[in-house]
């Protein structure tokens, strides 16, 4: 179980960094041009990256995550040392997949939109926002997780700002 979580976390964090880097390298959009919408000096944030996506792009993002989860869960369920196939492997796959996906995409998109509507959540990485939103849709309590995700996001922001200063951007 911990190997699965580490693989998924690494995948999602790397995706989040590429989304943030991609947002920082694009030409300014109307949202970036508004100083009050900017986070830090660059205006790039995970919330900004998410909010500039169209509904189709947001659904595509979720489809990509579900595909990655399916691949990971298939690999983990069939490579178990005692896997014999059949119902046991199917149950392992279902449990794995449903832990990270398997929800109505529109409900998850709405929950992510609501999460990123709060400026305090701007630097919560997209993978974290996805998991928080998934938990919220399932009815789990997420308030404390949001507080921790904000702290993590602020740490990332400081790290990104330091890297930009070092590279002269």
Six token digits for residue 27? 């030409």
pTM over 0.75: no
Euclidean distance between CA atoms 123 and 101, whole angstroms? 22
Strand ranges, E, within the chain: none
Q: What 3-state class would DSSP assign to 114?
A: helix
What rounded mean pLDDT belongs to the chain? 79
**Residues 153 and 124: beta-carbon distance below 8 Å:** yes
pLDDT tens per residue across span 108-127:
999 999 999 999 999 999 99
Q: Which residues constitute the domain of residue 12? A: 2-167
Tally of domains within the chain = 1
pLDDT digits (tens, 9 = 90+) for 32-88: 333 333 344 456 899 999 999 999 999 999 999 999 999 999 888 887 656 566 777
């Amino acid at each position: 179980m911990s190997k699965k979580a580490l693989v998924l976390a690494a995948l999602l964090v790397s995706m989040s960094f590429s989304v943030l880097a991609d947002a920082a390298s694009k030409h300014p959009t109307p949202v970036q041009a508004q100083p009050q919408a900017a986070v830090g000096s660059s205006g790039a944030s995970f919330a900004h990256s998410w909010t500039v996506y169209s509904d189709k792009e947001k659904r595509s993002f979720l489809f990509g995550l579900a595909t990655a989860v399916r691949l990971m869960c298939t690999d983990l369920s069939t490579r178990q040392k005692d896997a014999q196939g059949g119902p046991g492997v199917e149950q392992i796959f279902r449990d794995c997949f449903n832990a990270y996906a398997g929800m109505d995409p529109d409900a998850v998109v709405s929950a992510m939109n609501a999460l990123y509507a709060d400026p305090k959540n701007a630097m919560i990485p997209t993978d974290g926002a996805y998991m928080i939103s998934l938990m919220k849709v399932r009815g789990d309590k997420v308030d404390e997780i949001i507080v921790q995700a904000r702290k993590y996001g602020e740490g990332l922001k400081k790290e990104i700002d330091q890297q930009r200063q070092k590279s002269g951007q």
